[in-house]
Structure 1
């Protein structure tokens, strides 16, 4: 009987240690390697949809205090800093107001000048190539359909992606020139008329490099809104199967 009690205690202790180790490993991976994020808005349509779950690489731009849970690390600036590439889809802490997580496409690098003219983006005085393609067709889980004008933009590097233009002469289709300060980048949503991004200087503005959390890499899960992540029994009907393991460009 005594031996059984000792074994029972040993088993409980081993279980507790295993749980602690698992939590520590998860924290290390989340901090230094990859962190999962859920997309809450349509600002990055058609690239990202509400309900997409993606992995963000934490090492892509180096590490800052925002790389750590609750931004608690006593770090100033970035360690192993790397400037994003133009066109990266990046997660960052909003620099104005509450430091919530935002996700946008990095369009401006330090020293760049950007401007929107009639819905066309100009970088350092040169228009980004923009071609009209087939409409984006959105079908929600209730069967409602909407069609939105869709364009393919191609950067000088050859990097290409799709954007939406929901409104002719939208609020930010014509802007002043933005001059990106040193140590900052400029982010824009792919859903150009429905994105609060760096074009709104009093709401988001220029993004300090320190505020970058990481680069979005791949969609590992996508739910259409009919199920929460923990409602596994609903997955067969709620998962957007065609979006799973979609890499982001």
Structure 2
């Protein structure tokens, strides 16, 4: 079963607020007068006392998670070496505008993603053709069931193309607006062999590079690390049947930094703007687990570029 924590927080906030508010509006005065007349100490009924105590706490948590910063855990290796499995990150929730909690509807616009941003978003689903020849979003990667429900999951990738960009990708080669994106070899990937994700990359002789992604404003580059592992798999090229060469309005092309082991826009098309959750900016904990060092203190406090 999938849980939407924002929806749960919103529901609890409404529930506690309604219970407390209705009690104060309809029952509090008469109950207090009755207890005062009887000489008894006033005390709220247990449900009302719980609602009164928890409402401000839940409300503050809801506001902070919805409009300021929200914690997320990295579940897969698709953003290695930038983000590791077990990294706990903070996401700026107001970087691209304020959105209604649970519904994700934007009501205040504060900016748009730029090339190189690491973004968290609600997975939009795989683009599949239904029985009428219409492209729909499905939870089935094979598209055997184009009407399969899309799982309610948060994913994280890097923005490679913004609306109006022309994007081409063939193996290691990435072109933006007709110009190749430069990358400098750092060396072989070196990780913790006790962890599955790191061991896979070392087994397939992954290499680490510094990619120089041109900024959206044309002023310099965003320099960040990527991993290449062509012995592992060959991703779909861009453009393809799900992604046009020119990024349409309201959409973004996103990729994982682990370029050969990332299910991203090359698989399921452009990321709709309304699916954005925020911009990742900080690693606040890096959990490696038993047998692998437990906590990687060297990654704590690292700014995400």
TM class, shorter-length? 0.7 to 0.9
Secondary structure of the structure 2 residue equivalent to 1:106:
strand
Secondary structure of the structure 1 residue equivalent to 2:55:
helix
Deviates more, 1:114-123 or 1:87-96: 114-123
Equivalence for 2:87: 52
Give the distance between the partners of 1:241 and 1:18, measured in 2 at CA: 36
Equivalence for 1:32: 67
- The 3 A distance-change label for structure 1 pair 182 and 122 is same
Equivalence for 2:147: none
User: Normalization by structure 2: what TM-score?
Assistant: 0.67
Residue deviations 1:123-173 (CA, integer Å, cap 9, x gap):
011011111112221114469852521111012332100101112594227
Give the distance between the partners of 2:75 and 2:175, measured in 1 at CA: 28
Q: Write out aligned runs for 1:38-187 (5 A).
A: 38-65=73-100, 68-69=101-102, 71=103, 75=105, 79-96=108-125, 97=138, 98=150, 99-141=152-194, 146=202, 148-156=206-214, 157-168=220-231, 170-172=233-235, 174-176=237-239, 178-187=245-254
Is the contact between residue 232 and residue 260 of structure 2 (CA under 8 Å) also seen in structure 1?
Answer: no
Equivalence for 1:214: 278
Aligned length: 228
Secondary structure of the structure 2 residue equivalent to 1:122:
strand
Secondary structure of the structure 2 residue equivalent to 1:224:
strand
Equivalence for 1:22: 57
Report the alpha carbon displacement of residue 14 of structure 1 after superposing the two structures with TM.
6.9
Give the distance between the partners of 2:121 and 2:62, measured in 1 at CA: 19
Residue deviations 1:59-83 (CA, integer Å, cap 9, x gap):
0011345xx13x3x6x4x6631522
Secondary structure of the structure 2 residue equivalent to 1:160:
strand
Which residues of structure 2 form unaligned runs of 5+?
1-39, 126-137, 139-149, 215-219
Is the contact between residue 67 and residue 99 of structure 2 (CA under 8 Å) also seen in structure 1?
Answer: no
Equivalence for 2:298: 242
Is the contact between residue 64 and residue 211 of structure 1 (CA under 8 Å) also seen in structure 2?
Answer: no
Report the alpha carbon displacement of residue 17 of structure 1 after superposing the two structures with TM.
3.4
Equivalence for 1:233: none
Pick the structure with greater CA Rg. Answer: 2
RMSD: 2.9
Give the distance between the partners of 2:78 and 2:69, measured in 1 at CA: 23
